[in-house]
Amino acid sequence: MADILDILDIEQPGASEITRDSIIHGDKAKKKYVTAKTVRRPEGMHREVFALLYNDNKDLPPLLPTDTGKAYKQTKAKLGMRKVRKWVWAPFTNPARKDNAVFHHWKRASDEAKEYPFAQFNKQVSIPSYSESEYNQFLKSEDWSQAETDHLMDLCQRFDLRFIVIHDRWDRAAFRDRSVEDLKERYYNICAILSKVKTNPWSNSVTMVNGEKRVYHYDAEHERKRKEQLKRLFDRTQEQIDEEQMLLAELKKIEARKRERERKTQDLQKLISRADSGNGIVNNQTSIVNEGANTPTGSTSTIARRHDRKLHKKKLTAQQRPVRTVEAVTVEWSGIKFPEARGAGVWLRSQRMKLPPGVGQRKTKAIEQELRLLNIDIAPTPTEAICKHFNELRSDLALALDLKNALASCEFELQALRHQYEALNPGKTLTIPASICNTNVDAEIKPLGEIIDVVGSPSALNTTI
Amino acid sequence: MSGPNGMLYGGDEIGALVFDPGHHSLRVGYAQEDTPKADIPAVIGVGPATHIPDAEEKVPDGNVTQSATKKDELRYYIDVTELHVPRPNMEVQTYMKDGQIDNWDLFEKMLDYCYSKVIRSPSEHHPALFTEAVWTTRPAREKLAELLFEKYQAPAFFLVKNAVLAAFANGKSTALVVDAGASQTSAIPVIDGYALTSAAARSPLGGDHLASQAKLLLANMHIHMLPLYSIQSKEVIRERERARYTPRILPAGLTSSWQQYMLKRQYEDFVHTVAQVSEMVYDERTAASVPGVHYEFPGGYHQDFGPERFKLTECLFEQTLGAPHLVCAAASACDADARSALWGAVVACGGVACTAGWMERLGKELAARAPSAHRLKTSAPPAHSERRFAAWIGGSILASIGSFQQMWISSQEYDEGGKGQLERKCP
């Protein structure tokens, strides 16, 4: 604005008067906030709510959170008026040193002279000492000379009983090479003897328990054995490790297979026990299944397999009727359980024909396929009777499908066993009795109907469609 | 040093100096600092003192340590600014041999230089901590103590094995230290701050070997490596084109030792830029799939280096001399009880350990070789300078710890007990 006024050579109002105030504040001083008349907070309104409506300059509350507090601002250095405390390069002596050597370090001039603080870390292991006469009297050993023992004690002192380091620094030129265990054995022996002989408990290997001396006893033999084992563990070759790994993996596999088999057998048994109510054909099937449980396949040892095979044969001949241990189990309805129409009010009867959600996609498809084969409408008119029978039919179909699958897997097992048998006993063939062999497709259909009968939908026999 | 609650923390600095002599360079600096003040090549140029520098050589006279007064006196050229200038009749000599100081007269010159040009403070004010190789012989250690106390009047002196310090620099007191240096690679077990000397394993495969391999490689590729000092100017050329440069007029009488030294630096630079360690054992096809690295030679010739750079470093992982084998040998030479702690703390340091991919390869090879009963952990500081100066940094840490101040061999102790106590005091 001022530029335009300049160009047009128009006198700027108020430009001439330059006061100290206008220089310092610029034109800021001219801006005056119109302070609205403060609105009083109505009775009962919370302070926070009121603050949202009316703040000081009547702006809307910001959409984004902003921080205006001092929290994130960098704090300025507070320069006090105190005097700085001087540091001086001062000499000091270290009481941990024996020679009173004087070194220099920085310290505050104001700090009073006190003992060198790091001297307190000067800790030493107490090592037993002995005089010559004591050595001759108590510590003589056939294996160790006194010079060697002295050397050991010296090294123990120097390396604070770090026996691995002591072993490393052992004077091999003067003395014969000794193992770490030898060194430890000798040292702890000396400790034990001296603690018995001497009265003052000097060593850390002696502890006083109830006024009684306890001496650390070092079991050198055990340690040697332990280390030998450790070495052997570390020195295994890659092949050995691989072999071990392989064997462990195999073991795991075998166990997994075993579990899988058991699970399958249980499933099958449950299924059959449901369907079973004393029919001969089903009996035969059950017997196969029972045998199957005892017959491991896969990689178990051949001996076990042969043994089981024998058992299998014996059972096949001797047991026409297998023990029905599963009979006691409540015969469970394995078809489809249609939920009872519940809830008040009106509902469509066709709702009753809806398959419950528990039935899987595959099963639904299979049932529909069967229905098509039987030339039955997939969605018949839902009269009372049709609903009932249609549901029963589908339930039976589901069961039939289950049994069919079970039969197929039994067949497969049987064939697999036969192949195994032939592989193990070349030249022989396993003749499977016709009664348990199910190769005829026609024969399959017929018992199916019977099974359905047997399982018996409660109203199948006495109700006509 | 001590907090308001009476707790002790931090260290106590007493103005100590840390010297870490190596085959490639000598590191020197104040304890408590994180990098050495100077990293000086471990060679000294020895030339006649009468030599008057030519106008074009521009010798900074202030940096000359020994002022030439007499005709037959020798002058010593130390550090790169002095050493890398072509001078007639200047022989390059090293004072190191097999990881130990061998030529004491030369080493004295080096120490003179350190005190006067690097530290710039009289030697009698500063306790000196020296690092040494694990296999340093007793006479060499005693000689060093004697030199420091008698010639340099050091108030205190201490010697520590460099493997121990490298472990300290990595925050460990028990570690299996793999030091891949210039002249050799070594694997040294350290237990509770003591190096196990009898279990240490070493091989002569190091940075120098790598440089000589590079020389061989370039010779096979018919690439002529020119030393940098011999080039006056060069033209910009296309890749793999013949180099066009103007050679520099050199003074007559350059010694072959100096020329060899300068060429070696050049090969080291080549290795440093180009060499990489492949993750697995060298395989032509996988190596070819990695993009190449460009390198321009001093003469101006430049080209991409592809699989060659992986092939070059394979010698470092040679079956019976490479670092993985040394680690296994060192670990199996230790007591069975110590092994699992050592395998759990394999620490790498040294200049060669900075080569790209070296750590990863070591880790892989060790994982394949280490007994499965142990938990293997290899570590190295991520920064290259920390890897190179690991021993020095460890020394810097150690010399500034408050409780270490009682360990120094003071001049009083030396006067009383002589150098014989060195074996006792500096294990």
Say which of B1, B196, B411 has its CB closest to residue A168.
B196
Residue B199: list chain A partners with CB under 8 A.
168
> The domain B17-164+394-425: what is its CATH number?
3.30.420.40
Cβ separation B410–A164 shorter than 8 A: no
Distance in angstroms (rounded) separating the CA atoms of residues B97 and B95? 7
Cα–Cα distance measured from residue B359 to residue B313, given in angstroms and rounded to the nearest whole number: 13
- SS3 at position A312: helix
Task: Please tell me the distance from the alpha carbon of residue B229 to that of residue B251, in angstroms, as a whole number.
Answer: 11
Tell me how far apart the alpha carbons of residues A184 and A197 are, in angstroms, rounded to a whole number. 20
Cβ of A159 within 8 Å of Cβ of B13? The answer is no
Mutate which of A115, A157, A165 to test chain B, going by most B C-beta atoms within 10 A? Answer: A165
Smallest CA–CA distance from A230 into chain B, residue: B336
Domains B17-164+394-425 and B171-204+318-380 equal at CATH topology level: yes
CA-nearest residue of chain B to A103?
B14
To which H or E segment does residue B158 belong?
A: strand B156-161
**For chain B, what are the domain ranges?**
17-164+394-425, 171-204+318-380, 207-316
In this structure, whether the domain defined by B171-204+318-380 belongs to CATH 3.40.50.261 is answered with no
CATH number assigned to the domain covering B207-316 = 3.90.640.10
Q: What pLDDT, on the 0 to 100 scale, is given for residue B197?
A: 92
Question: Residues, chain B, total?
Answer: 427
Would the CB atoms of B13 and A105 count as touching at under 8 Å?
yes
List of chain B residues whose C-beta atoms are within 8 Å of the C-beta of residue A227:
335-337
Residue B213 burial by Cβ neighbours in a 10 Å radius (0-12, 13-18, 19+): buried
What pLDDT, on the 0 to 100 scale, is given for residue B30?
95
* List of chain B residues whose C-beta atoms are within 8 Å of the C-beta of residue A106: 13
Alpha carbon of B374: minimum distance to chain A alpha carbons (Å): 9
CB B332 to CB A103 under 8 A? Answer: no
- Chain B partners of A167 at a C-beta cutoff of 8 Å? 335
Which stretches of chain A score pLDDT less than 50?
Answer: 15-16, 29, 278, 280-306, 308-311, 313-333, 440-465
ipTM of the complex: 0.87
Q: Which residues of A make CB contacts under 8 Å with B?
A: 94, 96-97, 99-101, 103-107, 116-119, 121-122, 158-159, 162, 164-165, 167-169, 180, 227, 230-231, 233-236, 241
pLDDT tens string for chain B (427 positions)?
555 556 677 688 899 999 999 999 999 999 999 999 999 999 999 998 755 554 444 444 445 444 444 456 889 999 999 999 999 999 999 999 999 999 999 999 999 999 999 999 999 999 999 999 999 999 999 999 999 999 999 999 999 999 999 999 999 999 999 999 999 999 999 999 999 999 999 999 999 999 999 999 999 999 999 999 999 999 999 999 999 999 999 999 999 999 999 999 999 999 999 999 998 888 888 888 888 999 999 999 999 999 999 999 999 998 889 999 999 999 999 998 999 999 999 999 999 999 999 999 999 999 988 887 789 999 999 999 999 999 999 999 999 998 899 999 999 999 998 888 898 888 8
Residues of chain B contacting A104 with CB distance shorter than 8 Å: 14-15
Place of tokens 């921080």: A67
Q: CB distance B8–A169 less than 8 Å?
A: no
- Residue A72: the pLDDT is 62
The residue with tokens 């099963």 is A363
Q: A234 and B332: CB-CB below 8 Å?
A: yes
| Residue in chain B lying closest to A233 (CA) | B373
Q: Which residue has the tokens 């004591």?
A: A134
CB contact under 8 A, B14 and A100: no
What backbone phi and psi angles, to 5 degrees, belong to A280?
A: -65, -40
Q: For chain A, report the end-to-end CA distance as a whole number of angstroms.
A: 102
pTM of the model: 0.67
Q: For tokens 């002591």, name the residue.
A: A166
Max distance between CA atoms of chain B, in angstroms, equals 72
Number of cross-chain residue pairs from A and B with Cβ atoms under 8 Å apart? 97
Instruction: Flag if B194 and A94 touch (Cβ within 8 Å).
Output: no
Residue among B12, B196, B411 whose CB faces A118 most closely: B12
B196 vs A contacts (CB less than 8 Å): 164-165, 168
- B400: nearest CA in chain A? A105
Q: Is B394 exposed, middle or buried (0-12, 13-18, 19+ CB in 10 A)?
A: buried
- Could you give the C-alpha distances from B314 to B277, B280, B326, B357, in angstroms and in order? 7, 10, 16, 11
Q: Which pLDDT does position B8 carry in this prediction?
A: 72
Residues of B with CB under 8 A from a CB of A: 1-2, 8, 12-15, 127, 155-156, 191-192, 194, 196-199, 332, 334-339, 371-374, 401-403, 405-406, 408, 410-413, 416, 424, 427
Disruptive mutation site among B174, B405, B412, B426 for chain A (greatest number of A CBs within 10 Å): B405
Q: Which of B17, B406, B415, B421 to mutate to test the interface with A (most CBs of A within 10 A)?
A: B406
Mutation for A interface: B188, B194, B332, most A CBs within 10 A: B194
Q: Are strands A87-93 and A102-108 parallel, antiparallel or unpaired?
A: antiparallel
Per 3-state DSSP, chain B is made up of helix, strand and coil in percentages (nearest 5) of 40, 20, 40
Which residue of A100, A122, A168 is in closest CB contact with B199? Answer: A168
